[in-house]
Every structure is written in structure tokens, then in C-alpha cells.
Amino acid sequence: MLSTPTAAAIYARISSDPEHDQLGVTRQLQDCRAQAERRGWHVVGEYVDDDISAWSGKPRPRYRQLLDDISDGLVGGVIVWHLDRLHRHPKELEEYIEVCEPRKVPTVACVSGDIDLTTADGRLIARILGAVARSESDAKSRRIRRKHEELAQAGKMGGGGTRPYGYQADRRTIEPAEAAIVREAADRILAGDSLRSLANDLSRRGIGTVSGKPWSVQVLRRMLLSGRISGQREHHREIVAAGDWQPIITPERTARLRALLTDPTRRTNRTARRYLLAGLLRCAVCDSRLVARPRGDGVRRYVCAKGPGLPGCGGVAIMAETLERFIVEAVLHRLDSPALAAALAGAQAPAESARLAQAERDASSAELEQLAAAWGSRQITWPEYLAARKPIEARIEAARRTLARESQVTALEPYVGASSALRERWADLSLARQHAIVAALLDRAIVRRAVRGRTAFDESRVEPVWRV
Ligand SMILES: [Zn+2]
């Protein structure tokens, strides 16, 4: 026990990313203060930066102050909610290590636990956490870019010289009958009608597009998103200037249509959100598989689902984002463990068993074909065919399972002992690939009930069961 309590600094940062930043700064500070109390640390300062665009590299005055105070010996320990609050770039982390290491100033992160930057292991974990946070941020900018491209396309009216709907062939004089439809469409969408029902209704009334085809949801959406109908020019989807043609609706209505039609929560019928750990999580209470189920406000979760036809107990739910981050960290960390390298090196046998399984599968498939041919040429009866088919299919299934197991190990091989290579590429890997790598290492993770009143991610709730 220390004779004098550590003089602790709390650092918090407000960022604008609502998906990532579920916790407001108040929450961050509360968790950090509780952490200080648990450790018997005396909080000497709270440093809060308002960092609206988290990855822009904007200066953070309070963070600089914190570094100065550590250098001056005023701070003996740092508490943050998560390391990603502290550092946005690897070079910031390295600078931070340079300041803290010689002074033996520990850093405590409420989410990921103690990270002792004075040891090689601690620094490794910090770097992994940083890489994971950065890849999330990269993914976010990719998402934004994609959205921009989509909207830019949406702004282009029709293809190849067709006149825009609502205008005559000179592309600037209003075509009154069509303009009335544009106004009606805008009114109805702004009033809460869906694109689908609007398109159906126009079809029913025999109203088609410029080329006379029925309106599709996509074409309708593109038209309503365009700046053209309110007499505005676009460049890369952004409205850049007033045009010199007649507007059908006001720019204000276009702005509202754009806000409405590009609202991500509106896209309920789009592809389901992605769940990295689908199939890998078990309920600690009833051992059911957790299923992906977003909360009412769209926040991704895994839950033990209870209901008709569902085996679960309904007692466990966990936020997907932080859990996935935690598991990925753990996987990357484990890839570098000597135990894993040894386990895989000793697995000479898998290659052999994979060869056998492959041979078995090929032979059985050939038998199945012969059998079908025998039935086709009436050498055997249908019941005979069915009876003979069963054991062959069982052999094929067994071989398939063996091969699947082996290929999971193969997914890992290039990265064993080289997790830094994987870390760099992680964000660029497809979800299927990421899932294969996680599943190759992780047999399952058992998720316990939340402790009442604890809303921050609590890693003690999760028990990974490793395959290798
Ligand atoms: Zn359960």
C-alpha cells in the first residue's frame, strides 16, 4: 500500500461520433472518478477536451496541459475511460509513453483495465487498442465517403441526354403536368409517405417517368434528392450554386427532402447491420446462442432471445460495438502468444487429415453419382437408392466438417506471431474474413448477466473459450 495517495489526473474527450461515442463526457468522468476511488487515488485534476472531429489532428489544449503536468511531476497516475480518448494517432501514443515511462506514471483505462505503459506488454496492448480504434475511424471515413458517392450519383438526373423529369427538352423550362407530380411527390414524402407506396400509386394512375417506364423507388428517390428540381446546381452531390433554370420546388424543401431521405435510420429495409460475433456467443445462464438484435434506437446488441420458437432465457444482452472491439483485441493479442505458435507448430497432423478428408469426400461424391446413374438406368429401385444414399451422404458430411475445421486453422497461419501485419490489414478485411479469423481462434465466448447499474463495458462479463 502506498503511504501517500497517488495524485491522479482524469482525462476525458468529447467526440462527435455518435456510434462510437455512446458515452457522453459526464459518463466518462463518473466512471473515471469511481475508478480513482476504488484505487484510493486522489484526483488532482480533470482534463476535458472538446474534440468535435476526433481524427482531424486538431490541437487539444487540455491534453497538452496534462502532458506538461506529468512532466512537472504534478501527476502520478492517469485515468481515462478508454485509451482511445487519450490518443488519436500512434505518434501521440509514442510521445505519451516517452513522458510517462521515465516517471513511472501508470495509466488506467476504465474499459480495458490497467495498461502499464512502462512494460513491453502494456505498450503492445496500448498499440493494439490504438490500431483497433484507428481502423474503426478509417472504416467510418470509408462509410462517409461511400455515402457521399451514392448521393453524388443520386444528384445526376437520368442518363445519356434524357431530359430531366419536370422540364422540357431545353432542360430549363418547366413542363407543367410533370412539375405537378414532382410537387406532389415532395409533399407526400415530407408528410411521411414511403417511396414505395408513392411509386405504387403513380403506377396505378398510369404516370410514368420521362421514358414512360413505371417509377421505381430508386429513380423516385434520385429525383427527390436532386438539387435540379429546386433550381440548384450540384457538384459531387453538394449543392454549389443557384442554377439558371426554373425551380419546381423551393431549395428549403430540397434541403428537407435530403435530410429525410438520407437519414440512416430510415433505411430499415436495407441490408442488416453486420455482426462479427454471430454464432460465437453463448448465454452464461442458459447456454443458448446469443443472437444479433439491435436496440430500438438502432444500437447493435447481442441478446439471449426469449420468445416463441426461441430457446433463450432473455436474461442476457450486451452491446455489440465494445464487445467486438474487446474480442478482436484479445484475438490479436493471442496470435502473438508463444502457446499458440507452439500449438499450431505441433499440428502437423491437420494437413494429413485434411488430405484424407478431401480424398474421402471425392470418393463419396463419385459413389453418389454412380448410385444416381444406377437408379437412372433402373438397375436399382427408388427405395434402394434412398437407402444406399444415406451412408454416403453421412461420409461426405463428416469429411466436410473435417475440412472446415482445417481450413479455419489455415485462415490463421499467415498471421501467427505476426499480429502486427494482421492489425494493419484488419479494417480492410471483409467481415467474412474477420469472422473466419476470430472463429479460428475462438470456440465461443460466454457472456454473463450485466451487473446492475454498470453501463460501461465490463470485460469480466465475457469469458472467451479458445480453440487453440
Ligand atoms: Zn440465456
Determine what percent of the chain is predicted with pLDDT higher than 90.
15
pLDDT in tens, 287-323: 999 988 888 887 889 999 888 777 889 999 999 989 9
Query: Do 369 and 400 contact (CB within 8 A), yes or no?
Result: no
In the reported structure, the alpha carbon of residue 306 is separated from the centroid of ligand 1 by a whole-number distance in angstroms of 8
**Is 327 part of a structural domain of the chain?**
yes
- What is the gyration radius of the CA atoms in the chain, in angstroms? 29
In the reported structure, the alpha carbon of residue 432 is separated from the centroid of ligand 1 by a whole-number distance in angstroms of 26
Whole-Å CA distances, 319 to 285, 292, 386: 17, 10, 47
The answer to whether the Cα torsion of 306, 307, 308, 313 is positive or negative is: positive
Q: Show the domain range for 66.
A: 7-137
In the reported structure, the alpha carbon of residue 289 is separated from the centroid of ligand 1 by a whole-number distance in angstroms of 8
Q: Is the pLDDT of residue 98 over 60?
A: yes
**Is 144 part of a structural domain of the chain?**
no
In the reported structure, the alpha carbon of residue 326 is separated from the centroid of ligand 1 by a whole-number distance in angstroms of 21
In the reported structure, the alpha carbon of residue 304 is separated from the centroid of ligand 1 by a whole-number distance in angstroms of 5
**Is 276 part of a structural domain of the chain?**
no
- 291 and 336 inside one domain: yes
Round the average pLDDT of the chain to a whole number and report it.
76
The answer to whether the Cα torsion of 394, 399, 400, 406 is positive or negative is: positive
- 211 and 321 inside one domain: no
Q: Which three cell numbers stand for residue 185?
A: 411527390
Whole-Å CA distances, 398 to 339, 350, 394, 404: 29, 15, 6, 10
pLDDT of the residue at 419? 72
**Is 143 part of a structural domain of the chain?**
no
**Is 26 part of a structural domain of the chain?**
yes
49 φ, ψ (degrees, to nearest 5): -105, 140
The strand pairing partners of 445, in sequence order, are 281, 464
CATH number of the domain at 262, please. 3.90.1750.20
Q: Mean pLDDT across the stretch 172-194?
A: 86
In the reported structure, the alpha carbon of residue 11 is separated from the centroid of ligand 1 by a whole-number distance in angstroms of 37
Please calculate the CA angle 14-19-25 and round it to the nearest 5 degrees.
25
Domain boundary among 219, 235, 266: 266
**Is 292 part of a structural domain of the chain?**
yes
In the reported structure, the alpha carbon of residue 164 is separated from the centroid of ligand 1 by a whole-number distance in angstroms of 56
- 316 and 393 inside one domain: yes
- 347 and 240 inside one domain: no
**Is 311 part of a structural domain of the chain?**
yes
* Number of domains within the chain: 3
- 17 and 96 inside one domain: yes
Q: Mean pLDDT across the stretch 98-110?
A: 82
pLDDT of the residue at 207? 92
Rounded to two decimals, what is the model's pTM? 0.35
pLDDT in tens, 189-201: 776 667 887 888 8
Please calculate the CA angle 215-220-223 and round it to the nearest 5 degrees.
130
Go through 145-161 and write b for each residue having 16 or more CB atoms within 10 A of its CB, e for each that does not: eeeeeebeebbebbeee
In the reported structure, the alpha carbon of residue 461 is separated from the centroid of ligand 1 by a whole-number distance in angstroms of 14
Go through 61-83 and write b for each residue having 16 or more CB atoms within 10 A of its CB, e for each that does not: ebbeebbebbeeeebbbbbbbbb
Lowest mean pLDDT among 64-78, 150-164, 271-285, 370-384: 150-164
In the reported structure, the alpha carbon of residue 310 is separated from the centroid of ligand 1 by a whole-number distance in angstroms of 10
- 164 and 288 inside one domain: no
pLDDT of the residue at 269? 33
| Cα–Cα distance, 156 to 168 (Å, whole number) | 17
In the reported structure, the alpha carbon of residue 285 is separated from the centroid of ligand 1 by a whole-number distance in angstroms of 5
- pLDDT, greater one: 243 or 322: 322
| pLDDT band per the 50, 70, 90 thresholds, residue 282 | very high
- Classify the phi-psi angles of 262: left when phi > 0, otherwise alpha if psi is within -120 to 50, otherwise beta: alpha
| Cα–Cα distance, 77 to 95 (Å, whole number) | 16
pLDDT of the residue at 106? 82
CATH number of the domain at 37, please. 3.40.50.1390
Domain boundary among 240, 266, 292: 266
pLDDT of the residue at 271? 34
- 131 and 234 inside one domain: no
Query: Do 137 and 55 contact (CB within 8 A), yes or no?
Result: yes
In the reported structure, the alpha carbon of residue 448 is separated from the centroid of ligand 1 by a whole-number distance in angstroms of 9
Element (H, E) at 272: none
Q: Is the pLDDT of residue 23 over 50?
A: yes
Element (H, E) at 252: helix 251-261
**Is 255 part of a structural domain of the chain?**
yes
- 89 and 30 inside one domain: yes
- 80 and 49 inside one domain: yes
Q: Is the pLDDT of residue 285 over 90?
A: yes
Q: Is the pLDDT of residue 409 over 60?
A: no
Whole-Å CA distances, 422 to 1, 184, 406: 40, 53, 20
| Cα–Cα distance, 85 to 374 (Å, whole number) | 69
- 217 and 364 inside one domain: no
- 431 and 295 inside one domain: yes
The strand pairing partners of 282, in sequence order, are 289, 446
- 416 and 298 inside one domain: yes
Return the top range by mean pLDDT from 129-138, 309-318, 337-346.
Answer: 309-318
Domain boundary among 215, 234, 266: 266
Return the top range by mean pLDDT from 5-14, 166-175, 425-434.
Answer: 166-175
Lowest mean pLDDT among 75-84, 307-316, 361-370, 408-417: 408-417
| Residue 132: closest CA among 93, 96, 101, 105 | 93
| Cα–Cα distance, 10 to 66 (Å, whole number) | 9
Q: Mean pLDDT across the stretch 161-174?
A: 86
